[in-house]
Amino acid sequence: MGNKPQTPFLEARERLAKTSTIKLWFSRFASRSAQLVGHPYIFVWAFISIVVWALAGPYFHFSNACQLVINSVTNIVTFLVVFLIQNTQNRDAKALHLKLDELIRSHNPASNDLIDVEKLSDEELEQLEKYYEAIRKEREARNGKKHRPAA
Half-sphere exposure of 139 (CA within 13 A, CB side): 7
**For the chain, percent of residues with pLDDT exceeding 70:** 85
Amino acid code (one letter) for 143: N
End-to-end CA distance of the chain: give it in Å, rounded: 60
Amino acid code (one letter) for 70: I
Q: What does the pLDDT look like over 104-126, one tens digit per residue?
A: 888 888 878 888 888 888 888 88
Closest CA to 58 of 47, 50, 66: 66
Q: Give the helix/strand (H/E) hosting 108.
A: none
Q: What does the pLDDT look like over 6-17, one tens digit per residue?
A: 677 677 667 666
Q: The pTM is what?
A: 0.58
Half-sphere exposure of 137 (CA within 13 A, CB side): 7
